[in-house]
Structure 1
Amino acid sequence: MEHQKALERVVARLADTMPTIGLRNPKIGGEGDRWHFCNPGDWVISFHSGQLWLAYQLTGDVAFRNAAQARRPDFRYILEHRKVRDHDLGFQFSLHSVADWQMTGDREARAMALEAAGLLLARFREEGGYIQAWNPTGTVDRDRAAYVNGRMIADCIQNLALLYWAHRETAIEDFRIVADAHAETSRRYLVREDGTSFHTYLFDPASGAPLKGQTHQGYRDGSCWSRGQAWLLHGFAQCHAATGNAAYLETARALAAATERLMGDATVPVWDFSVPDNEPRPLDSSAGAIMSAGLYILAAALEGAEAQRWRRLADRLLDGLLDQCDLTTVPDAQGLLAHGAAHVRAGQTDAMLPYGDYYFMEALMRSLGHTRFFW
């Protein structure tokens, strides 16, 4: 009952803030729990659209549909400007254009999503078997280009859903082949033997030879950044749901077991599980939301005691968010969750985050038995 009440508050918050947010796309929370908004092409641009589409699904209120569809020019901009495109095309177009197609049958939305899937496909590095993360091009910042070239990151596992969807829509095998190849490379190199994970992995850009695991946002190269762990847990559970591949299920189980061990008695994860107790350990509500949603997917793929185990952990994480981070009862807040850690090493902590809000809504819905999503 508490989860249902919380979901109703989420939908009410989205309706109440619609006139204030307008056609802008939230990026990160600021003072007074007010949003700062995205620049064109930002990787987080779709998470508010995803919430609007879920609200439309729940209520049938056309105001949510219209608000989501009115953002279409923002996504057309991404398709038309190559310099803003990277591996996050799946995040962007699954939660906007695929959602639109599934909810309304709009043919332009389908065409945009398929175009985005083709652009994501083109980022595949055959020599290493992975989708290139950020863009290793340009002459302005050569150090940045050198750093990103040959690099995959944990976040990209979430973007494979767009490729699996495109394969189902078109029967073009390349979409499935590339998604499977990237998932297999992620399984081999990002997920450690103990079920913890690297944030990034570097390959030789020319030969594809694996070089080393590193971090970009975590505490150190050998640590376990909690949101990276969450991306992989949700992502592999999602990949298994899309394909039935048993290896993906086993990987999701290993990630879940490590997450359970690392969480201990906590109910909201810290930003990196490896940070010593004597150093600052800000929470990351977004990691908790992603983990919870992923654990519900994992539990749905299993039976008996193991399914109950992961559902209990999902419930514990979701209840932790409701106990410690819930802003839906704070009248003037524009978002849903407090205590998100966008990029701790860059000083971005204790903020509302649109991806935390989206996965919070998804987790609430999954906890209540909803099964229709846009992944």
Structure 2
Amino acid sequence: MRKIGGLLLCCFLLNGLNGQHQVKTRKELQREVIRCINESAQQYKVMMQRLDAARFPVTWYAKEDKLVTSGSEPWVGGFYPGALLYLFEYTKDSALYKEALQKLNVLAKEQYNKTTHDLGFMMYCSFGNANRLAPKPEYKTILINSARSLASRFNEKVGCIRSWDSDPGRFMVIIDNMMNLELLFEATRMTGDSSFYRIAVAHANTTMRHHFRPDYSSYHLVIYNPANGSVLKKQTVQGAADSSAWARGQAWGLYGYTMAYRETRDPKYLEQARHIARFLLQHLRLPADKIPYWDFDAPGIPDAPRDVSAGAVICSALLELATYTPLKESKGYMKAAEKMLQSLCSPAYRATIGGNGGFLLKHGVGNYPRKADIDVPLIYADYYYTEALQRYRKLGMKR
């Protein structure tokens, strides 16, 4: 009963803060963003002190004060060094850079890992950012090898990259996989080999045909027949129901098609991103502070848990989408992104320095149906939060 009461109190406080937020001016939010970048750098120094050299942060359990870590193999490995690099980009704090490089050394062997579809998350969020800030031949080699490993999972008959390997007789593809295509686009730029590009485009096209409902919400998982590419089943494994709109899945779709438009300039991807954005921003169950519940159809709304990881991904995606659309539409995306960013920077979601196990954001949801990582910090939420901070800072420099 005490645990339920605490959850209800947390939800009450979050809902109360929604109404109390006063919208900051653009100049005020720019100042807030700079403050958050600097404080995030301080917070990650707390994280650095808690981590073993060969481990990567995943989450933190407050009750036990337990930092949950992993090796380099899981999908989350690239987010911590990537976030460090985003923070270093502004602060120029050499301690952050040194930590990022140390983790890159541990992660490098995953360039040959052909057992996962998540090499974009793992290698592009990490080595992609490292190469962007300080290009090196070894980074280029690692990114190309990673793209080759990812491309090995492509099936011509299906037109997609396989996600899960649990059943060889069924070809499983999750919406998350849209995020890994950026690595393939980068590999074509680096090598001139258009096969990476063709695989990325084929995957984006197949996903657009089969993952989305008429309202532009998406399923989490589509299962194909590997022999002929026919659709066998559609599910939402991490959502409230197969028919529901799992929030992080919608975020992956929005970000993925915005990125696909950037890389190809194909207008159908821009249209897809705009449709997904419209679904999200006009949804009656999107809270006033714009940080979504873990599923738009979650039972118990408005007392259902929020998911800052979905909020951070959507915020970052909207900041980019706003740069590709007509002025009136762009203003709408920017206004929503600014509201999200203001919420993420507020005490309702952002940790105080020294708390939250060293993570930046509170109130993430990993896998609700499995009762895993509910109302905890998540390293991928931190990554897309630092990306959103940097994107907004850079947009302000252009004005």
* TM-score greater than 0.5 by the shorter chain: yes
User: Could you say which residue in structure 2 is the equivalent of 1:298?
Assistant: 321
Count of residue pairs the alignment pairs up: 361
CA gap of 1:224–1:126, structure 2 versus 1, over 3 A, is same
Matched residue, 1:310: 333
Aligned to 1:123: 153
Distance 1:52 1:80 in 2: 24
Percent identical pairs in the alignment equals 30
1:123 touches 1:131 (CA, 8 Å); kept in 2? yes
**Structure 2 equivalent of residue 140 of structure 1:** none
Other structure's SS at 1:231 match: helix
Q: Does structure 2 retain, via aligned residues, the 8 Å contact 1:267–1:319? A: no
5 Å-filtered alignment, 1:364-375, equals 364-369=389-394
2:312 aligned with 1:289, yes or no? yes
Gaps of 5+ in 1: 136-143
* Partner residue in 1 for 2:361: 337
2:203 alignment counterpart? 182
- TM-score normalized by structure 1? 0.90
Alignment partner, residue 259 of structure 2: 238
**Offset from partner CA, 1:237-257 (integer Å, 9 cap, x none):** 111112211111100000000
Counterpart-to-counterpart distance in 1, 2:262 and 2:301? 40
CA–CA distance in structure 2, aligned partners of residues 261 and 338 of structure 1: 25
User: Once the two structures are superposed, what CA deviation does each residue of 1:80-126 show, in whole Å capped at 9, x if it has no partner?
Assistant: 555xx311001111022222222222222211111010011111111
Asked whether the equivalents of residues 267 and 321 of structure 1 are also in contact (C-alpha less than 8 Å), the reply is no
TM-superposed CA distance for 1:364, in Å, is 1.5
In structure 2, C-alpha distance between the alignment counterparts of 1:170 and 1:28, rounded to whole Å = 36
Letter of the structure 2 residue corresponding to residue 95 of structure 1: C
Where does structure 1 differ by over 6 angstroms across 4 or more consecutive aligned residues? none
Q: Separation in 1 of the partners of 2:79 and 2:396?
A: 18
Deviations 1:232-278 (A, max 9, x none): 10111111112211111100000000001221535211111112347
User: Secondary structure of 1:368's partner?
Assistant: helix
Give the corresponding residue for 1:356. Answer: 381
Q: Which amino acid aligns with 1:313?
A: A
CA-based RMSD of the aligned residues comes to 2.1
1:170 paired residue number: 191
Whole-Å Cα distance in 1 between the matches of residues 109 and 276 of structure 2? 36
Where structure 2 has 5 or more consecutive residues not aligned to the other structure, the ranges are: 1-30
Q: CA deviation at 1:343?
A: 0.5
Q: CA deviation at 1:203?
A: 1.0
For residues 1-375 of structure 1, the aligned pairs below 5 Å read 1-23=31-53, 24-31=55-62, 35-80=67-112, 82=114, 85-135=115-165, 144-145=166-167, 149-262=170-283, 263=286, 265-277=288-300, 281-323=304-346, 325-333=348-356, 334-348=358-372, 349-369=374-394
1:22 CA drift (Å): 4.6
CA distance in 1, matches of 2:36, 2:246: 28
The answer on whether the counterparts of 1:290 and 1:360 sit within 8 Å (CA) in structure 2 is yes
In structure 2, distance between residues paired with 1:325 and 1:287: 16
**Alpha-carbon deviation of 1:70?**
1.3
In 1, Cα distance between equivalents of 2:253 and 2:66: 30
Q: Are the counterparts in 2 of residues 200 and 213 from structure 1 also a CA contact under 8 Å?
A: yes
- How far, CA to CA, are the matches of 1:222 and 1:152 in structure 2? 17
> Does the 8 Å contact 2:154/2:161 carry over to 1?
yes
Query: What is the DSSP-based 3-state SS (H/G/I as helix, E as strand, rest coil) of the residue aligned with 1:208?
Result: coil
How far did residue 60 of structure 1 move? 2.5
- The answer to whether the 8 Å contact 1:41/1:77 transfers is no
**Secondary structure at 2:223 match in 1:** strand
Q: Is the 8 A contact 2:248 2:310 kept in 1?
A: yes
* CA distance in structure 2 between the aligned counterparts of 1:314 and 1:239, rounded to whole angstroms: 20
Instruction: Please tell me whether the aligned partners of residues 245 and 296 of structure 2 are also in contact (alpha carbons under 8 angstroms).
Output: yes
Residues 95 and 371 (structure 1), Cα distance of their counterparts in 2 relative to 1, 3 Å cut: farther
**Residues 369 and 331 (structure 1), Cα distance of their counterparts in 2 relative to 1, 3 Å cut:** same
Shift of 1:370: 5.3
CA offsets 1:5-50 (integer angstroms, 9 cap, x no match) = 2222112212343233253211122126653101340110110010
Contact kept, 8 Å, 2:56 with 2:72, in 1: the verdict is: no
Task: Summarize the Cα distance change of 1:340–1:113 in structure 2 as closer, same or farther, 3 Å threshold.
Answer: same
SS in 1 for 2:369: helix
